[in-house]
Structure 1
Amino acid sequence: MKNEAVNPGVLYLVATPIGNLEDLTFRALRVLKEVDLVAAEDTRHSRKLFSHYGITTALTSYFAHNESVKGERILEMLRQGKSVALITDAGTPAISDPGFLLVRACRDEDLPVTAVPGASAVIAGLSVAGLPTERFAFEGFIPPKSTARRKLFKTLSAEKRTLVFYEAPHRLVACLADLMEELGDEREIAVVRELTKLHEEVFRGTASEALAHFAQGRVRGEIVLLVGPAPEEQQQETVQEALLRWRRDTDLPMRQIVKEVARQFGLPGSDVYKESLKLRDEDQA
């Protein structure tokens, strides 16, 4: 008699609260209670959440240094039809936290993976910071060493999207000093601290203002650091240089060149036309 095929279990990526325990969703609570195993970044931390909600599901640790060993065990459980929930200490699994390798392995084997969305410090911080949100880039944790930090900030200095980072509280002041050196005193930034907790703080201002503010005392709590888009570069080319460039590089008549340069500089066509007359006079001199 042949063995019946076993339907694989599901790997659930369950978002947990980033501070306030009330931010656990109804669905997340149900999944954590129903799965066969919960793989947690730190079981000691997760037991507090479990105790608060009366969750009795078995816990196992799954963190950066045991990903390969524990990952294979979890995969075997999924192959056998058992379901597993992956959680991190706070927020969404696999986002600057363990989980990516496990998800990739599941995808490679066509094992089901589903998200149980919820809290994310990246999105929560961006939503309350007051910086542009149309386009943004998450850059993860900032390097701990000053040289690497400054290199990173220099590389991103011209970025036109809002940048989102994670930073440790004891490095924030040094980080802001390096940021100010590479991006300038007036670069707009926001520091979001202790999101959803009792002492939540959102500071928005220039890099120099932030440094002065946080240098006053010991900084505590989880931090999301956001950097506003680089300011638009000022026009370096003069109107006459632009007229000369268009005349040199195109076959357009001067009348059309004047229109194009006026559009480029946001000037009245009559003003640009006067500049074109100066060029004509110079040509005839």
Structure 2
Amino acid sequence: MQSKSNQWSEQLLMQLAGLESQTLPDSTLYIVGLPIGNAADITLRALWVLAGADVIAAEDTRETKKLLERFSISVPTVSVREHNEVAQSHMIIERLQKGEKVAMVTDAGTPAVSDPGARLVREVLKAGFKVMPIPGASAVITALSAAGLEPAGFHFVGFLPPQSKARRESLSGLLGQKESFVLYEAPHRIKDVLKDLSQLTHPQRRVVVARELTKKFETFTVLTASELETWAKAHEPRGEYVILVDVEPDNDALQLSEKDKQWIQALAAAMPASKASAVAAKIVGVTRDDIYRWLLSQKGA
């Protein structure tokens, strides 16, 4: 139970935030952003919406109930996760048809951003009901704010394919675009991803590895691509990761003429890129690794 002074403080905060003068429309799906680690990051508006909802659609009801209990919110929950999202959308729409207020949350962060929610939103909009975003924490924005990437825009990727071949192909395409991009990765795959990045991108490309965002052991490590594999071997994978890859440095250091580029690309079309790189390196005086990365970037482009 909360003390009377705590309850009074909460009421004052809600009043100062102007929530008393706002409305909570019926027949609306509320997309509520939750903390990504630090419970203190929850917003007053998120608490107000969750407490006023008729039902809360949650990725994992067990995790969501922990948060609701922390803030003394007693609202029923239903499971809406990746594997049942489309099926459950029909149930959510039926509730909206009855005039109910439905809040959608995921385990952490903002729904529909590399988390369940997008399919539900699409179905609710298709059915003609209102969807209202309640802004909250997002790992990609949190990481970007402290990574110092070049201010030229970025490509948000989220999770790469788990299979090795598909992951490397996806990375090759991203690296070929030469713009900043942001990845999410789980601890059991982080070493493989960093190894692939180290091998596929320009050795001096700047990469920021962020982990345990907003938690006690939050870290931001700035590395060059050439350092990634060694760093990964020296650090035990723990927590969820955000990997921020900065814009590619000027790759004209290859010093290849247009004529050389043309015949090297033609050679790579007739044999594996690694073999073509080795052959070309002996002729043009550029390292095999630099030619190989350049060929991969051209393939991605």
Tell me if TM exceeds 0.5.
Answer: yes
Among 61, 76, 82, which residue is 1:43 paired with? 61
CA distance in 1, matches of 2:71, 2:241: 26
Among 156, 160, 165, which residue is 1:138 paired with? 156
CA distance in 2, matches of 1:199, 1:41: 25
Q: 1:41 to 1:133 in 2, by over 3 A?
A: farther
CA distance in 2, matches of 1:17, 1:235: 44
- What letter corresponds to residue 233 of structure 2 in structure 1? A
Match of 1:157 in 2: 175
Match of 1:124 in 2: 142
Match of 1:185 in 2: 203
CA distance in 2, matches of 1:220, 1:60: 30
Q: Which runs of 5+ in 1 are unaligned?
A: 1-6, 242-285
Match of 1:229 in 2: 247
1:78-93 equivalences under 5 Å are 78-93=96-111
Match of 1:214 in 2: 232
Match of 1:67 in 2: 85
Q: Is the 8 A contact 2:34 2:108 kept in 1?
A: yes
TM norm structure 2: 0.74
Q: 1:235 to 1:198 in 2, by over 3 A?
A: closer
Match of 2:266 in 1: none
Match of 1:101 in 2: 119
SS in 2 for 1:98: coil
Is 1:19 aligned to 2:28, yes or no? no
Report deviation, 1:214. 2.4
Greater gyration radius: 1
SS in 2 for 1:16: coil
Report deviation, 1:39. 0.4
Work out the number of aligned pairs and report it: 234
Report deviation, 1:221. 0.4
Report deviation, 1:145. 1.9
CA distance in 2, matches of 1:207, 1:29: 41
Q: Is the 8 A contact 2:212 2:239 kept in 1?
A: yes
CA distance in 1, matches of 2:50, 2:64: 11
SS in 1 for 2:144: helix
TM norm structure 1: 0.78
Report deviation, 1:101. 1.3
Q: Is the 8 A contact 1:8 1:111 kept in 2?
A: no
Q: Is the 8 A contact 2:51 2:73 kept in 1?
A: yes
Match of 2:165 in 1: 147
Q: Which whole-Å deviations, capped at 9, do the CAs of 1:258-277 have from their partners, x for residues lacking one? A: xxxxxxxxxxxxxxxxxxxx
CA distance in 1, matches of 2:135, 2:183: 20
Q: How much identity, in percent, do the aligned residues show?
A: 44
- What letter corresponds to residue 240 of structure 2 in structure 1? E
Report deviation, 1:135. 0.2
Match of 1:34 in 2: 52
Q: Which whole-Å deviations, capped at 9, do the CAs of 1:181-219 have from their partners, x for residues lacking one? A: 111332211111000000001011112223222211321
- What letter corresponds to residue 104 of structure 1 in structure 2? R
- What letter corresponds to residue 199 of structure 2 in structure 1? E
Q: 1:235 to 1:226 in 2, by over 3 A?
A: closer
RMSD: 2.0
Report deviation, 1:144. 1.5
